[in-house]
Amino acid sequence: MQKSIKKYFPIFALPTLVAFTIGFLVPFIMGIYLSFCKFTTVTDAKFVGISNYLKIFTDKTFIHALWYTALFTIVSVVLINVLAFAIAMLLTKGISGTNVFRTVFFMPNLIGGIVLGYTWQLLLNGILAHFQKTLTYSSTYGFWGLVILMCWQQIGYMMIIYIAGIQNIPGELIEAAKIDGATSGQILKNVTIPMVMPSITICTFLTLTNGFKLFDQNLALTNGEPSNMSELLALNIFNTFYGRTGWEGVGQAKAVIFFILVAIIAVIQMRLTRDKEVQQ
Amino acid sequence: MGVRKAKHGWILTILFALISIAWVFPIVLVAINSFKKKVYISRQPFSIPVDKMFVKFENYVRGIERIHFFDAFKNSLFITVFSVVAIILCTSMCAWYISRVNSKFSKGMYCLCLFSMIVPFQMVMFTLSKLANMLHLYSPVGIIPVYLGFGAGLAVFMFCGFVKGIPLEIEEAAMIDGCNPLQTFFKVVLPILKPTCITVTILQTMWIWNDYLLPYLVLDIKRWKTIPIAIQYLKGGYGSVDMGAMMAMLVLAIIPIIVFYMACQKYIIEGVVAGAVKG
């Protein structure tokens, strides 16, 4: 059977392989190479060694964006997961209207980042106007604006995953714990949370990478204002590429660092939470 | 006990009803403001448009004319539908090939797909846009292979996870009965893969329909805009933003999503759960 399938390689695997090469493989390899070059388009690249990388660390906007992104990611991961889990717990108690609430909470997730950004800009600026401020008054406003926006967008998605996890817990387990005299706090800590650990793994992974890679919402909500102070990493890289001529190489080097950071975080996080999962 | 529990649930229902209203409030606010005269929008965003504030559909007409909304809608629809079809068809075939043929290519391709899932778009955005330009992929048709390539990682990974669970005997029986691999795939394997197809469709549709940066960099945006690009374009360079048109276009951008959501809600929520478990 293997042999006869193998003959059909051009039909089965080739289209994806070609597209994958164009859409990912070649740009990725070229990207790594170009991070060691000075260039304005791809054809005039000149090898300059690691000077692009050295330049990054003298760029204050990048260092600022790095800390800003790290802080933003931590705050949004914690808030989104705690709130989503709490809502999921309450919505699995069988109260009336559960389906309607689930539908409503999930909806913002389908709306794109650009549209979301301008929607929240209107609301937040409207509220801040009472205090004679706007979102771009200082980076703190932009920060909390983004956090609120992300919570609104992602809680529904994570809630759906948590609900599925909670519903998978066998009822006998909770019953047994109750008969043994466990309080609801103990049940939560010793039964529910260990049992939904796979959901926690995937939700923290998703919120972590989403937060770290956030771009559209940042662009639409504050566009980095005031003076690049509310710029997340992805937007900082974009602005280095397309906003400063002669800095394309540095932009590419930043992108490589960005990629390495995302990869490290993803791997560490997967390791850490996978260890805590219970075998069923 | 029973009575107390019911009372408890009743309070929760009210609480969640209030939160739900707060949850949809930003969208309602945009809808309200889309009927307001543009100078009043940033000054009085929370007031209901009456009398001289109320402008009927003026904002809509102006916005549609300025960004050619329906062209953008057509482009978004075209790109999303055909990219997703291409992804489903090509990656499911590729995933079956990878799972069934035991070779170095199969292993390598699988690992690369996994790897590509953690690479952020910024890493490849510059080189990808230049490469796409060189290959003349800057039209709505040309962008389809780009989406296929960049979306292949997740799709191949998910299909592979599912194909592994299909018993080999079914396919062998089909082959013995005289099916060639193509017939085997389309008549036997693909129907079994249907639930995964739905999951991948939902995840990829949500991504491509809302994607801003990839089409912005790859497409020739003077000629073709998608909805997110058109909305961002409305903000323009340095001039003041036409808030009226902006609100109206946001409403028009949200309506198709809500219609889609209401129509396939069951599949969307199931797809998200299935996607998360596999991912």
Task: Please report, for the domain that includes residue A165, its CATH number.
Answer: 1.10.3720.10
CA B269 to chain centroid: 14
How many angstroms separate the CA of residue B32 from the nearest CA in chain A?
12
User: Do B95 and B185 fall within a single domain?
Assistant: yes
How crowded is the C-beta side of B115, counted as CA atoms within 13 Å? Answer: 11
Domain residue limits at A193: 53-275
Choosing among A11, A16, A264, which should be mutated to test the B contact, i.e. which has the most B CBs within 10 A? Answer: A16
The two structure tokens encoding residue A54: 């050295």
**Do B95 and B36 share a structural domain?**
no
Q: Which of A110, A118, A147 is nearest to B210 (CA)?
A: A110
Chain A CB contacts of B153 below 8 Å: 20, 24
Give residue A257's identity as a one-letter amino acid code: I
The ipTM estimated for the assembled molecules is 0.86
Look at residue B73 and tell me if it is in a domain: yes
Q: Does A78 touch chain B (CB under 8 A)?
A: no
Residue B63: both structure tokens together: 């916005």
- Residue B265 resides in a domain: no
Give the CA count within 13 Å in the CB-facing half-sphere of A108. Answer: 28
> Is the same domain home to B194 and B91?
yes
Q: State the nearest Cα–Cα gap between B259 and chain A, in angstroms.
A: 11
User: Do B218 and B113 belong to one domain?
Assistant: yes
| pTM for the predicted model, two decimal places | 0.88
What is the tally of structural domains in chain B?
A: 2
Nearest CA-CA distance, residue B66 and chain A, Å: 17
CA distance B139 to A271: 42
pLDDT at A280 over 60: no
- Alpha-carbon distance values, A76 to A10, A157, A183, A232, B45 (Å): 45, 14, 30, 13, 27
For residues A233 and A70, the answer to whether their CB atoms sit within 8 Å is no
The residue segments making up the domain with residue B91 are 68-235
A260 interfaces chain B, CB cutoff of 8 Å: no
SS3 of residue B40 by DSSP: helix
Along the 279 residues of chain B, how does pLDDT read in single tens digits?
333 444 577 888 999 999 999 999 999 999 999 998 888 887 788 888 887 788 888 889 988 988 899 999 999 999 999 999 999 999 999 999 999 998 999 999 999 998 998 899 999 999 999 999 999 999 999 999 999 999 999 999 999 988 988 888 998 899 899 889 999 999 999 999 998 999 899 889 989 999 999 999 999 988 999 999 999 888 865 557 788 888 999 999 999 999 999 988 888 888 888 877 655
Same domain, B24 and B135: no
CA distance B64 to B71: 9
- Residue appearing with tokens 């129509």: B263
